[in-house]
Structure 1
Amino acid sequence: MIVYKTEEEIELMRASAKVLAQAHGEVAGMIREGITTRELDQRAEEFIRDHGGQPSFKGYNGFEYSLCISPNSVVVHGFPGDYTLKSGDVISVDAGVLLNGYHSDSAYTYPVGEVAPEVLKLLEETKKSLYLGIEQAVAGNRMGDISFAIQNHVEKQGYGVVRELVGHGIGKKLHERPEVPNYGKRGAGLKLQTGLTLAIEPMVNLGTKSVVQEKDGWTIRTKDLKPSAHFEHTVVVRKDKAEILTSFEYIEKALQ
């Protein structure tokens, strides 16, 4: 069943999304060579709890952390731990907040130190594809319009779009129906209606689209071990223009 949100529910999700955006800003301000991914995770959890929320990921299907932190060839679902950031890394930070009974979800991929130009371009184009997908999240369009906009943009650059992992509906549950693939046909799929809340999240690889799952049952890595990028916003389908509930504003301030 697809759950469409009332304006009151969207307001609660907006509050959740603001705490999430601020938590991302806290993490962004710490990203540098020499810091461990565990330290980033601890700060995010501390900030979220201090602001009345709970980390959506912690305890989800047994996941033990507040953040998914995925360096380099790890696409998503990486575990925070002793890994120490070094120059040349790219690192995806994915987080969710449960506040007032509603979830928000967003992700951002960071360069660390001196990163190869072709990898920086991967990040730039993946982020751009997120916003091209969001532009299609308006009432009357189809899910395939979002999917096609993302796939069309990144495949023109020669990148691989991950098939096994998709965006999703979001609200009282972290993952709700419908799925939001990052590949598809224009004009196909579910007809979008006002009040549908979605986590749109392109996962794009520098090389092949193929991925493998590590033995830990969580970590997803590119098959060819080339870098991957991941950007995500929580959005509301509206009549004329999608509303983005999450924000990269605090991240961008921290990175200045």
Structure 2
Amino acid sequence: MSINIRNPKEIDCLRKPNRIVGETLNLLETRTKEGMTLLELDKIAEDFIRKNGARPAFKGLYGFPNAVCISVNSVIIHGIPNDYRLKSGDIVGFDIGVEIDGWYGDAAITMGVGDISEKDRQLIACAKDTLYEAIDQIKIGLRFKELSKIIEDAILKKGFVPLKGFCGHGIGRKPHEEPEIPNYLDGRGATSGPKIKEGMVFCLEPMICQLDGEPKILSDKWSVTSSDGLNGSHYEHTIAIVNGKPEILTEI
């Protein structure tokens, strides 16, 4: 496994697309209302990204047709925007990638529309709180497997389970680089594998299920749900290790 180490100039380059990711997510959070279609929100995001001199990195990536992964209710990740019109009680996830000058950024949020259930509030809070709890524990020398266990333990403690088969990842000159960072300990122990070092840049993205972490891919070949069929949630940030500490590049 070869994990890229970025110098300060390269991390400055990475700040640009990641800032645009954060700004786009903030825009969607304020613009999302009952009655809007997913395609309308996708266009708002794409127009904003292009207006800022960047490119929506997910559009065309592996054949994905749109600018933003928009996942509603039981779809946890990789939802394709369509004509579905949001209604009160829905929860919706936005996952955005941006490329500018050959550098990539990536982040995601899940939010409620109108009045949502208490269970869905807890589900969203689990993804967001777990992400920040994990970031707070990042330090040089921590193994990525230890980080996966930190994420898994936080999810389980909150009464939920991680989605299996999908993971966080390195990022830089490509949207997905080494290492893979599952949201659970994959293997027999956390005391092996690569350690976090100065200059590494990676995405953490807790993906939360209610009862069953086994994934199910829907007929569109993209949308991922849990086998339990219940609502899920997803949060993500891009993090750089700068001066020995985690810096959240996508936080605005």
- Pairwise TM-score range, normalised by the shorter structure: over 0.9
**Is structure 2 residue 133 aligned with structure 1 residue 132?**
yes
What is the alpha-carbon root mean square deviation over aligned residues?
1.2
Query: What's the counterpart of residue 173 of structure 1?
Result: 174
Q: Retained in 2: the 8 A contact 1:77–1:219?
A: yes
Answer whether contact 1:193 1:238 (CA < 8 A) is retained.
no
Distance in 1 (alpha carbons) for counterparts of 2:64 and 2:215: 20
Q: Which residue of 2 aligns with 1:231?
A: 235
Q: Gapped runs of 5+ residues in structure 2?
A: none
Partner secondary structure for residue 195 of structure 1: coil
* 1:10-25 equivalences in 2 (<5 Å): 10-25=11-26
- Indicate conservation of the 8 Å contact 1:119/1:206, yes or no: no
- Residue 173 of structure 1 deviates from its aligned partner by 0.1
Measured in 2, the distance between the counterparts of 1:192 and 1:26 equals: 32
Deviation by residue 1:36-85 (Cα, 9 ceiling, x = unmatched): 01011001100000100000100101111000000111010000010111
What does residue 252 of structure 1 align with? none
CA distance in structure 2 between the partners assigned to 1:123 and 1:229 by the alignment: 6
Mean Cα deviation higher: 163-172 or 125-134: 125-134
User: Scaled by the length of structure 2, what TM-score is found?
Assistant: 0.95
Partner of 1:218: 222
1:79 corresponding residue in structure 2: 80
Q: Is this contact kept in 2: 1:162–1:182, CA < 8 A?
A: yes
Matched, 1:150 2:154: no
User: Which of 196, 206, 210 pairs up with 1:206?
Assistant: 210
Q: TM-score, normalised by structure 1?
A: 0.93
Give the Cα–Cα distance (whole angstroms) in 2 for the partners of residues 229 and 187 of structure 1: 29
Write the deviation string for residues 145-190 of structure 1: whole angstroms up to 9, x where unpaired. 2111111011012211012100000001000011011111544431
Q: Distance in 2 between matches of 1:81 and 1:64?
A: 11
1:99 maps to 100
**Between 50-59 and 157-166, the greater mean CA deviation after superposition:** 157-166
Contact 1:106 1:231 in 2 (8 A): yes
Amino acid corresponding to residue 229 of structure 1 in structure 2? S
Q: 5+ residue gaps in structure 1?
A: 250-256
Stretch of structure 1 that moved more, 135-144 or 96-105: 135-144
Aligned residue identity for 1:211: P
Tell me the percent identity: 36
Instruction: Tell me the amino acid that sits aligned with residue 47 of structure 1.
Output: F
> 1:241 Cα deviation (Å)?
2.2
For 1:26 and 1:127, locate their aligned partners in 2 and report how far apart those are by CA, in whole Å.
Answer: 18
Q: Deviation of residue 135 (structure 1)? A: 2.2
